[in-house]
Structure 1
């Protein structure tokens, strides 16, 4: 049996391999990937985990103190829109993109006959966020923009798709999504940017302003605008690709724009837009976020007019899961730092991870990490299936059910994990004491970076309303019911019996809640939407964890069963006397398996109330 990881041998969560130390991610990808895909991916993920844990992590701390700077004008007062990046950021970008973080899921990588599933991109984003969640924003938008162009673009956009998915950094461009306007915010239908067709130049031109433009100088920027006589609201929005460089004024219509190592574009080559300023943000310093004013910028229509919002929604599915993967990566990094610090920091005569309260905290942080990662990669599996079906022209009830379930799970994934990242990062600072509050220690930056995650790609309220739309328009409760029942049906080990009973009871209560909201007025349904979203997460995740527990018990390890039991107890049970009267010592007895990944012999687990032996004897 595996004794787990001795975190006391590390000084900090730096100069380590994040893939090797994250057995939760390893477990989920073994289940999510096909066998041959995982066999191909494992050594590459291990190599990427090594790169992120060493070079990218070191560079990320430097970039946080010396981030991108905007040089809007040249010395002659001409608009150049140059964003100057530190060399460390250019190095990080080269390392990540040439490792295939985007390319591998759009074209067959070396050694394979077909692209990897989108889950692979999300797994690499997850690992990247152990070091730099800010840089993950451009990576996510590059993949999202490529997905949109692959599905809706025509021949005029093929050079941009090829550049977005390039494995060669020198030929790569990044993507962006200019969506938010000052007067609109989450109300995208209030957008006022307009698109006019220039008959003389035979191109579209955009006029208006965008208020939050992350990765502001991207060459593959997607923006929404309203064409002449288009209806109000989201129905009248069209999607355009707006390059950093004016494609009519440069020798090569696809350039690296502001990231050219030999300097900025010539003023006459800059597209007709003005980068007014970069936002002075709390965190995510590595991604430049600015305000952009379109003054007749050359733009290329993507797909059909007045279809932009639906096309953007396709991108949002991947962006929201990217946000959730980033949240899991932050939780993973903070948890790793907390485990290492607690194993080495002595107080009152022993390491603080030997004190009962700290043990309970680390157990519950680890359980949250497992729950979030399990849920997110189940949702990513469904997204990957959907995209594979789109590329191969498959259809049928199975594909339809996967899409409907995905539409429900994705907004919940983003909603729940973003808040979890903030809470975990905040408590990780507390574990480190005063050091955690200081810029020299990474927990400070992780909290600052995490704080944007509940805002990016839709706030919790917006996402909760999207959950209602998925239920109403997609009848998503049907595939949800089937998915939960399928997973609970095979759970039979005695040690899971009590947890199974709880989850089955809560599952039926969830069905009652869904039926209740279906019969209520819109106002009450919206009032209950956030509670419903969290309820779906808790019940669905519990079913996933129990299913994985049964499978791993059959393979000879009951560790995940302990995780599942703790998650069910924390989220779905209401103990008497708030648990104080129960004499529950679970956190002390299950510390080694849950926190240190020690394996557990299923034959040594009691069959009813959980562990009764001290952790050292499991």
Structure 2
């Protein structure tokens, strides 16, 4: 049986190994990886968790105070578009990219014959976000652009793909996605940037403005623009790769090594664009976000003309999962900091984790972390499965799951829900983590301040909650995603048989039937009412799906088939608490119920102490 973790031995949530302390992500990856994949990945994730917990975490605090700076012009007034980074940021980049955070999921890493699934990239992003969600933005977009080129490039951009997926830092180029325009925002179809083909140069040239450009100086930037006579709306948009440097000014893409060796570009080597300014942001300081004016920038068409928005959605799926993984990572770091602080902070003669209210709060924070991580990496599993099938079909005559199969349909529904729900959970958890620390949590000297500032962007990046909720409706209407959803929930509930889970399983089954009825009723309503209900529906799907998933995982651990190999009832307590919090309604807000669950389950849920399944009947939510 796995022993509990004494958080009082730590002073704070740094100079530790995040992989070693996070048994939740270890369990989820063991579940979604093959045995061979996990055996290969475990020591590397442990090494990365150690690196993030020490060097990257310390560097991230420095970068938050001394972030990138833009020098749009040189001393003569000519455009140079130079972004200067602190040395600590460059060190973090080297550490992350050379440990394969992008490369491992696209090219076979040392010791393997094929790449790791894309869920491995998301797992490393999760660990990275224990330290710096701002830096994770360039990492996520680098993987996203690599995915787009893998799918749609005809070979003209092979050098860019090689740089995006490079393991040697000197060979790396980073990716970006310039999507938002001032007049468009979430209404991408209103974008006005135009593309004109320059026959003499042999490139397309872009004209227009992009308003929010994260990782502004990336060499592998994707942008949407409208070619001549293209229709209005998203149907008329094409996708282009727009390099930071003039593509005719060098023998290949501008790599990290080129930048380190040569410094800022000379004005005649700059692509025809102006980086006007960096945004003065609340958080995510490590990623330079600014405004770009295309003044005839040379660009290469990616994929088919007027198919750009559809191609961009392939990247968007990965970016939304990256956002969800970042949310889970921030929740994990806040939870860790809160556990450590509560185990050390004394008030009125006791450490504050001995008091019932704090114990209840820590229990529920831990349950939220379990739920968010389980849902996100189940969506990641489906995404990785679909992408791996696509890669294999490209080399064979077998058919890929191109949009008709259950994997795609369920993935298409779960991804926007994962992004929407976990982002809100990250903000709420980070906010409360500051409260746990009292006044210290509110000042810059303590990391909880930065975690909240970084978390605040997560509900905005890659689509607001309203936009994502409407996307859920589209997945239900266009892909009939309710069918694999309901089938999957039912199959999971059928696996749950342990007596300790019986009451919770009955509650979830009742809610499953209510959810099915709600989906049927909504399908019969007009579009206005469906949109009015979309956000509630997205949260309802998350709650029922996650409850079934946690119950199934709890059943596995009760049978001794979990990570430790021993019968363990800890996850049963997590699942029961999640069901009680999200799907049950208590009379008088539960005040008169006599429920002491948080006190009785504290050691197991918060400190990860194993639970003998035979003892589960002693730790239950009191029945009315």
Residue 597 of structure 2 corresponds to: 586
Residue 311 of structure 1 corresponds to: 311
Alignment of 1:518-537 (within 5 A): 518-537=523-542
Q: Is the Cα–Cα contact under 8 Å of residues 495 and 607 in structure 1 kept in the other structure?
A: no
Map Cα deviations across residues 188-246 of structure 1 (whole Å, 9 max, x no partner): 00000000001121210000000000000000000000000000000000000000001
**Which segments of 5 or more consecutive residues in structure 1 lack a partner in the other structure?**
613-618
Residue 611 of structure 1 deviates from its aligned partner by 8.6
Query: 1:166 and 1:216 mapped to 2: Cα distance?
Result: 20
Residue 499 of structure 1 corresponds to: 504
Query: 1:441 and 1:261 mapped to 2: Cα distance?
Result: 36
**Are 1:252 and 2:252 counterparts?**
yes
Residue 49 of structure 2 corresponds to: 49
Residue 185 of structure 2 corresponds to: 185
Query: 1:558 and 1:295 mapped to 2: Cα distance?
Result: 62
Map Cα deviations across residues 153-184 of structure 1 (whole Å, 9 max, x no partner): 02211000000000011000000000000000
Name the SS of the counterpart of 2:184 in structure 1.
Answer: coil
Name the SS of the counterpart of 1:524 in structure 2.
Answer: helix
Map Cα deviations across residues 18-56 of structure 1 (whole Å, 9 max, x no partner): 000000000000001000000000000000000000000
Query: 2:378 and 2:258 mapped to 1: Cα distance?
Result: 37
Alignment of 1:74-473 (within 5 A): 74-256=74-256, 259-393=259-393, 394-395=398-399, 400-473=405-478
TM-score (norm 2): 0.97
Alignment of 1:508-527 (within 5 A): 508-527=513-532
Query: 1:481 and 1:142 mapped to 2: Cα distance?
Result: 34
Residue 250 of structure 1 deviates from its aligned partner by 2.1
Query: 2:382 and 2:251 mapped to 1: Cα distance?
Result: 42
Name the SS of the counterpart of 2:167 in structure 1.
Answer: coil
**2:576 equivalent among 547, 565, 581:** 565
Residue 608 of structure 1 deviates from its aligned partner by 9.5
**Are 1:576 and 2:581 counterparts?**
no
Query: 2:75 and 2:245 mapped to 1: Cα distance?
Result: 19
Map Cα deviations across residues 280-335 of structure 1 (whole Å, 9 max, x no partner): 00000000000000000000000000000000000000000000000000000000
Pick which of 148-157 and 600-609 moved more.
Answer: 600-609
Q: Is the Cα–Cα contact under 8 Å of residues 593 and 622 in structure 2 kept in the other structure?
A: no
Query: 1:147 and 1:259 mapped to 2: Cα distance?
Result: 24
Query: 1:463 and 1:122 mapped to 2: Cα distance?
Result: 20
Q: Is the Cα–Cα contact under 8 Å of residues 386 and 399 in structure 1 kept in the other structure?
A: no
Q: Number of residue pairs matched?
A: 612
Q: Is the Cα–Cα contact under 8 Å of residues 184 and 191 in structure 1 kept in the other structure?
A: yes
Name the CA shift for 1:608/1:253 in 2 (closer, same or farther; >3 Å). closer
Structural RMSD (CA): 1.4
Query: 2:339 and 2:253 mapped to 1: Cα distance?
Result: 50
Query: 2:253 and 2:100 mapped to 1: Cα distance?
Result: 24
Query: 2:3 and 2:498 mapped to 1: Cα distance?
Result: 23
Query: 1:17 and 1:607 mapped to 2: Cα distance?
Result: 34
Map Cα deviations across residues 593-612 of structure 1 (whole Å, 9 max, x no partner): 00000000112221894599
Query: 1:267 and 1:396 mapped to 2: Cα distance?
Result: 46
Query: 1:91 and 1:483 mapped to 2: Cα distance?
Result: 44
Q: Is the Cα–Cα contact under 8 Å of residues 150 and 161 in structure 1 kept in the other structure?
A: yes
Name the CA shift for 1:9/1:607 in 2 (closer, same or farther; >3 Å). closer
Q: Is the Cα–Cα contact under 8 Å of residues 29 and 38 in structure 2 kept in the other structure?
A: yes
Q: Is the Cα–Cα contact under 8 Å of residues 239 and 301 in structure 1 kept in the other structure?
A: yes
In the TM superposition, structure 1's runs of 4+ consecutive aligned residues that sit over 6 Å from their partners are 396-399
Name the SS of the counterpart of 1:260 in structure 2.
Answer: helix
Residue 251 of structure 1 deviates from its aligned partner by 3.4
Q: Is the Cα–Cα contact under 8 Å of residues 219 and 253 in structure 2 kept in the other structure?
A: no
Residue 539 of structure 1 corresponds to: 544
Name the SS of the counterpart of 1:156 in structure 2.
Answer: coil
Map Cα deviations across residues 436-488 of structure 1 (whole Å, 9 max, x no partner): 00100000000000000000000000000000000000000000011101110
**1:596 equivalent among 586, 590, 607:** 607
Query: 1:112 and 1:23 mapped to 2: Cα distance?
Result: 25
Query: 1:425 and 1:597 mapped to 2: Cα distance?
Result: 21
Query: 2:283 and 2:619 mapped to 1: Cα distance?
Result: 47
Query: 1:241 and 1:117 mapped to 2: Cα distance?
Result: 25
Residue 616 of structure 1 corresponds to: none
Query: 1:493 and 1:169 mapped to 2: Cα distance?
Result: 50
Query: 1:411 and 1:388 mapped to 2: Cα distance?
Result: 21
Residue 249 of structure 1 deviates from its aligned partner by 1.9
Query: 1:502 and 1:438 mapped to 2: Cα distance?
Result: 43
Name the SS of the counterpart of 2:156 in structure 1.
Answer: helix
Residue 493 of structure 2 corresponds to: 488
